[in-house]
Every structure is written in structure tokens, then in C-alpha cells.
Homo-oligomer: A and B are copies of this chain.
Amino acid sequence: MPTPTAATPQPLNPDEESLVRALGQVMHVLPRAIDADMVGDRQLPLTEYTALMNLSETPGRRMRMNELAALCYLSLSGMTRTIIRLETQGLVRRERCEEDARGWNAVLTDAGFARLEESWPSHLAAVRRRFLQHFEGFDLAQLARAFQGAGTAETTD
């Protein structure tokens, strides 16, 4: 019996191999690097930046914890803690939700909006330098679709 226990799957070819290795590196390095850039430059961690940014794009600059957590790819408890950090800095305020007294809205304060405006160039620069720059010859729209697929792949199966 050549393959005794489990079905041996098709191994990676050399190009796949090096892509996967590079992916491993990027998954580890990129988020930390961009975060470190933001912290070094603007004292605003990537997670907090992302929360502020999502809030800023919403009518009334407010959002339910639920929805914000999903947009930030964070667990609900992770979101709670992020919002608490932002609240203590005065960048976000929490208001009880009118139509459901269990719910809360995170509301971007003026200070929060100002902080965001002051920080986005730093974020933009980090993303350009660490990522976009390296994909210059590529069809970005096509690439974006592939990434979306990779990010939203079914959880189990």
C-alpha cells in the first residue's frame, strides 16, 4: 500500500510553494508593520483607526456595536474593549440606542473626527509603501476581487 493512512493531497508546485511562503510572511508581518507605523507616527493603533474610520463613514457618525464589530473584523467583546479605549481618549462616546434599550451606539466625537483626519495620511502612506507599491503592474480590480474571496471564504467545509 503506497499511501497507507490518509489520502495524500496534491502537493504544491514550486510557484504555489513560494506564494504560500510569501503569504505566511505577509500575514505575519504586514498587520504588525502597518500598526507599528501608525503607532510610531500618530500614536493610533490600526484597530482604533479602523473603528474611527468606519464610524466616520456612517450617517450621524454612529453605529451599533454589532455592526461596527463586523466591519472591523473583531469579536463583539474585542469591539467593546476597543470602544472603551477610544472613549477614555474622548474620541468616541456611547449612547443608548433609542429603539432598543439593550443596544448602544458608538458615536464619533469631534475630537475623534479630528484625530482621524490627522491620522489618515499616515495610514495611507503605510498602506502604499508596504503594500500597494509592490503591486504596481497588476490589475488591481481583479486582485481586489480575489482578496475579497479569500477573506470571505466559507468558514467550515
Contact between chains at B147 and A19 (CB < 8 Å): yes
Contact between chains at B16 and A125 (CB < 8 Å): no
Contact between chains at A153 and B129 (CB < 8 Å): yes
Known: A134-B153, A147-B19. A27 touches B25 (CB 8 A): no
B residues near A131, Cβ cutoff 8 Å: 20, 23, 150
Please report whether the interface of chain A is mostly helix, strand, loop or mixed according to DSSP: helix
Cα distance A124–B142 when bound, in Å? 24
In whole Å, how far is A97's beta carbon from the nearest beta carbon of chain B? 26
Cα distance A20–B27 when bound, in Å? 14
Q: Which of B30, B135, B149 meets A27, CB within 8 Å? A: B30
A146 located at the interface, meaning its Cβ lies under 8 Å from any Cβ of chain B in the complex: yes
Apart from A18-B148, A24-B73, what 10 extra A-B contacts exist at CB < 8 Å? A19-B132, A19-B143, A21-B144, A22-B144, A22-B148, A23-B147, A28-B151, A29-B73, A30-B150, A130-B153
Residue contacts A-B, CB under 8 angstroms, 27 given:
A8-B121, A9-B121, A9-B128, A16-B132, A18-B141, A18-B144, A19-B135, A19-B147, A20-B131, A21-B144, A22-B147, A23-B127, A23-B131, A23-B147, A24-B50, A25-B73, A25-B152, A26-B151, A27-B31, A29-B73, A129-B153, A130-B153, A131-B150, A133-B149, A133-B153, A134-B153, A137-B142
